Amino acid sequence: MQVDFTFLGTGTSQGVPIIGCSCEVCSSKDPRDARLRSSILIQTASARVIIDSGPDFRQQCLRAGLTHLDGLVITHEHKDHVAGLDDIRPFNFRSGKDMPVYATDSVQEALKREFHYIFRPNPYPGVPKVTLESIHEDPFVILGDRWWPLPVVHHKLPVLGFRIGGLAYITDANQFTDLALKRLQGVDVLVLNALRRESHLSHFTLEEAIDWSKRIGARQTYFTHISHQLGKHSDVALELPSGVFLAHDGLSGRTEGAEYRLDNP
């Protein structure tokens, strides 16, 4: 199954550069060190889907030249992953259809609180039109493509990563569940968060992410959700093992790896 992917954002919750910071990363002229909040565009023969709509969602869609979107999948309810939901509106206007938003029940409750004006009866004209689609740990289908949730833990908060074909995307995590590890078997391309070098209560460090990349054994691994504390892209890239890379905004790739199957050994 061919899956094309583009990193719309690869930064942590504050983005990079951080407001008011003059460190070597935040003042870098290397465009790879400028990171919007983490999000990724997934494209198959059937569908074009974005994972997470953070505060930079509008800018990301404009930069990628998007005019059509078949769905939005949400990993969890933190603001840096949902704050841009209102900018679904241009896709509604263009298609004349509601936007399917795939999220767990707890994430849906958060969306209803944060964007109450979308969901109240007889909403104000022009608000985003969304259809909430409940997802859990079971696989779900978007226009014929099977998505496998990857349950992980972000400190104490349950978060979903996702596997689609040979691609797995996991952000905001510092623990894997057994189910996630099972569904990562045979994955071709792994995307994993690597926040910084120092220990963090809710994110993998660079060292931990490298260790997990080796254990999972994907052909290629890309790190995302990166803080300015990690260092300059050009420097960190030199430290990484073969087949492991720092993602950066705008980076695109493709996998034709196999879908996960329930009869995998």
**What superfamily would CATH give domain 3-135+147-254?**
Ribonuclease Z/Hydroxyacylglutathione hydrolase-like (3.60.15.10)
Q: Is 230 helix (H, G, I), strand (E, B) or coil?
A: helix
Phi, psi of 15 (to 5 degrees): 70, 175
| Preceding omega of 17 cis (within 30 degrees of 0) | yes
- The per-residue pLDDT for range 154-201, each reduced to its tens digit, is 999 999 999 999 999 999 999 999 999 999 999 999 999 999 999 999
- The per-residue pLDDT for range 134-156, each reduced to its tens digit, is 999 999 999 999 999 999 999 99
Q: Of 119, 125, 73, 64, which is closest to residue 100 (Cα–Cα)?
A: 73
Domain ranges of the chain: 3-135+147-254
The answer to whether residue 265 scores a pLDDT higher than 50 is no
Query: Is the separation of the CB atoms in 106 and 134 below 8 Å?
Result: no
The answer to whether residue 261 scores a pLDDT higher than 90 is no
The answer to whether residue 103 scores a pLDDT higher than 50 is yes
